[in-house]
Amino acid sequence: MSKCESCIVKEFNSLKSLTRQELMRVSACKTGKIYKKGQVIFEEGETLNGVYCVRDGVCKLTKLSENGKNQVVKLVVKGGLLGKRSLVTEQKTNLSAVALNDMEMCFIPKSEIMADLVKNPKFTMDVLKKMANDLKDSDISLVNMAQKSVKRRMAEILIYIYDNFGTNADDYLNIVISREDYASIVGTATESAIRILSQFKKEGLISTKGKQIKIEDYGSLKWIE
């Protein structure tokens, strides 16, 4: 397993603000973990005793609603850090994490990283900034959810995935998820999600191959409605 000091993945998260010395210490105590598609990384209500650093793959962060449906709150890819909030607040996690494809992660015990959080102001400030940004994103999501139509939200998540996670060689979106997941991101019934994707297909905005989706008309999708 590669050492934290030389790991490029950390460039995308707060760990980059640690000193070389701190990184070596973290590296020594981290453990690598592999998760298969569909596997639960942690469950809402669990006590996390560390943070997870995503080296490869994608996972969804979900929250259970009172009506029993799971809502996807965020997608996390390479470089993402899971469990920041629980690290800071000492509370049980309020989200579940589930692998959307095969994943490779590093687990860093809380005890190790907490010391740095208190002692290294650069690291603390970086975590603080990341958290502030998450909060901003969350506000945006809230407004989208409250004010936009399901069709619009679906178009936006497709654009979001395209912009942030890119496409493979055949131009299909890199992130491949079920219609049920799309429904749970957008906050609608699975059938409604399917219907809207079918409609997009008929209108030539997207095309599909199995679960894979290709964006055919970015502009129209972006400015839909």
Partner DNA sequence: AGAATTACATGATAAATATCATATTTTAAG
Partner DNA sequence: CTTAAAATATGATATTTATCATGTAATTCT
Angstrom distance (rounded) from CA 174 to CA 167: 5
Sketch the per residue contact string, 150 through 189, with a second copy: x for CB under 8 A, - otherwise: ------------------------------------xx--
Torsion of CA 191, 192, 198, 203, to 10 degrees: 170
29: Cβ contacts below 8 Å, ≥ 6 apart: 108, 109, 112
Please state the closest distance from residue 46 (CB atom) to a second copy, in A: 15
Residue with tokens 């209500």: 45
Measured distance CA(183)–CA(109) in Å, rounded: 34
According to DSSP H, which parts of the chain are helical? Answer: 20-29, 84-89, 110-119, 121-147, 150-165, 179-186, 190-202, 218-222
Residue pair 187/70 in contact by the 8 Å Cβ criterion = no
Q: List, in order, residues 6 or more apart from 67 with CB less than 8 Å away.
A: none
Q: Which of 2, 36, 125, 178 binds a second copy (CB under 8 A)?
A: 125
Q: Which amino acid is at 15?
A: L
In the window 128-157, what residues touch a second copy (CB under 8 A)? 128-129, 131-136, 138-148
CB of 31 to a second copy, least distance (A): 25
Residues that bind DNA (CB under 7 A): 149-151, 178-180, 187-192, 194-195, 197-198, 201, 208, 210-211
Kindly state the smallest distance separating residue 178's Cβ from DNA, in Å: 4
- The reply to whether 191 sits near a second copy by the rule CB under 8 A is no
Closer to DNA by Cβ: residue 125 or 160: 160
> Which of the listed partners (DNA, a second copy, none) does 142 bind, with a CB threshold of 5 to 8 Å by partner kind?
a second copy
**Per-residue x/- track, 75-114, a second copy (CB under 8 A):** ---------xx--xx-x--xx-------------------
Distance CA 170, CA 133 (A): 33
Residue 195 interface partner, choices DNA, a second copy, none, CB cut-off 5-8 Å depending on type: DNA
d(CA 34, CA 45) in angstroms, rounded, equals 22
- Residue closer to DNA (CB basis): 92 or 211: 211
- Given the rule CB under 8 A, which residues bind a second copy? 63, 65-67, 69, 71, 73, 84-85, 88-89, 91, 94-95, 117-119, 121, 124-125, 127-129, 131-136, 138-148, 186-187
